[in-house]
Structure 1
């Protein structure tokens, strides 16, 4: 979540590449499993992997069967059977979970030491930034409690069958993107944390995406490690160019617009090979995409 985002406020709800030896190819010409990990065709006339983003519950399968990837909330769907249902229909599942801020309604909220809870997330009094330095043994003052908590979350995601993770709030250091976290986080603190997240997820056999974090997307340690991007409103805020290195490596950018019309952003998305959709801020099942432009 960055300065433009409010999508998780709906209340209902190092650098090693994972499987680097796999040959990437367009899922449109492949079988059920051979298109995963998702990748981009070099030809912009070929539509990039289609996705849906539903953080509201319950999950509703879109009638467009050419969608192959669903991004859903991990906690809200852990015991709902949604992952198994989507897998039974041939879909892959990205699971959303927060790694950079504390949410007071999550079932493990009491596990977080008070010392790593920072400033309130602006506009949302039930969230606080985390001191992400706590995963670094050389900087932790709690015995790396945050690493233990997030590791348990990744284990839960793996156990429920998530194919990939969308880790949110990965730019706590960046005061140009939002208010201060309440901690003196540096660029390198964030890089350490983000690579730790990626390695932890990859070790469990899941892919991992970079969420927003435009000002680190050009860092080779980031784009060489993360498997895809999840971006909000990069066309509206002229930020899509920050993900050019991911696109150069044929790594998908899964992007959502809230206010723009399809005619405004779909031609640009096609030219850049970005998997763009239009969603409501509630991230329910309502969805439009750029298929008509291919």
Structure 2
């Protein structure tokens, strides 16, 4: 039977990570519980409540990775997604873009996923693929559709006492920095767009950042100056990390 849902803490008690805090991001392989990082970002389905408790016992905060922008044919709730919500493949095996205009359907599906994150003991949500309006999804998505969807996700997380990070979606940072509690970014130094994340730093909110193709000496000094929580990872996001 599912664990009973607890009462979410008041919004004032919601965790908001501060700039510069060290993090680990692992979505593949056996979870390494002993990384010297205050924050872990791990898969919401594959990670067990026992592993999350073990991380909490080590003083870590734990973020729940949830793909909110694409259907994944390997997830246990895949049967709940109506076919008409599924768009073009997004380039990852088994994934197709979602029609985020259909908030009437997706809100309850994402609420159940966030509920599961809370039941397991996660502290926060990493909502992935929240910039589909810029992709070839098969749907005529607009800036407005994306803002509405992303704000809905933030509300779902906050209603459950969970913080939530804005993943990439750099062009909407000015509109969304107040609604989200931290940022997660890939490759902003490689693409020369890190300045777009500074509103999070100025708001006292962490920017969890990773590069895949640049050596640390190419970005770490500037990342530290900017207040980012930066490291180099392999694209498969297994355990090894090279922090700044």
- 1:155 paired with 2:127, answer no
Match among 110, 119, 127 for residue 88 of structure 2: 119
Contact 2:231–2:243 (CA<8 Å) still a contact in 1?
yes
User: For 2:224, which of 258, 267, 270 is the aligned residue?
Assistant: 270
Alignment correspondent of 1:249 = 203
Within 5 Å, which residues of 2 pair with 1:222-237?
A: 222-237=176-191
1:93-128 Cα offsets, whole Å, 9 max, x none, are: 00101001001111111110011111111x335111
**Alignment of 1:213 onto 2:192:** no
Whole-Å separation in 1 of the counterparts to 2:35 and 2:89:
39
- SS of the equivalent of 2:56 reads helix
Q: Which residue of 2 aligns with 1:55?
A: 27
How far is the alpha carbon of 1:272 from its aligned partner?
A: 0.5
Check if 1:38 corresponds to 2:17.
Answer: yes
1:203 aligns with 2:159: yes
Could you list the per-position Cα deviations for residues 170-219 of structure 1 after superposition, in whole angstroms to 9, with x for gaps in the alignment? 01111xxx3x1111111111100000000000100010000001111122
Q: Does 1:131 align with 2:85?
A: no
Give the SS at the match of 1:72: strand
- Within a 5 Å distance, the mapping from 1:11-30 to structure 2 comes to 21=12
Contact 1:102–1:128 (Cα < 8 Å) also in 2: yes
Deviations 1:63-86 (A, max 9, x none): 53xx1100000011146x211110
The 3-state SS of whatever aligns with 2:149 is helix
For residues 160 and 146 of structure 1, the distance between their equivalents in structure 2, rounded to whole angstroms, comes to 21
Q: Give TM-score, length-normalised by structure 1.
A: 0.77
Aligned partner (choices 34, 41, 45) of residue 71 of structure 1: 41
Q: Which moves more between the two structures, 206-215 or 237-246?
A: 237-246
Question: Pairwise CA RMSD of aligned residues?
Answer: 1.7
SS at match of 1:194: helix
Shift of 1:226: 0.3
1:149 offset after TM fit, Å? Answer: 1.1
Report the 3-state secondary structure (helix = DSSP H, G, I; strand = E; otherwise coil) of the residue aligned with 1:133.
coil
Corresponding residue for residue 167 of structure 1: 127
Partner-residue secondary structure (3-state), 2:45:
helix
Q: Distance in 2 between matches of 1:204 and 1:110?
A: 24
| Consecutive aligned runs of 4 or more in structure 1 exceeding 2 Å deviation | 18-22, 61-64
Structure exhibiting the larger radius of gyration computed from Cα positions: 1
Using the size of structure 2 for normalisation, the TM-score is 0.92
Distance in 2 separating the partners of 1:194 and 1:116: 17
Matched residues in 1 for 2:60 and 2:93: separation?
35
Q: Structure 1 stretches of 5 or more lacking a match?
A: 1-17, 25-35, 41-47, 136-143
- Per-residue deviation, 1:145: 2.3
Matching of residues 64-103 of structure 1 within 5 Å: 64=36, 67-78=37-48, 81-103=50-72
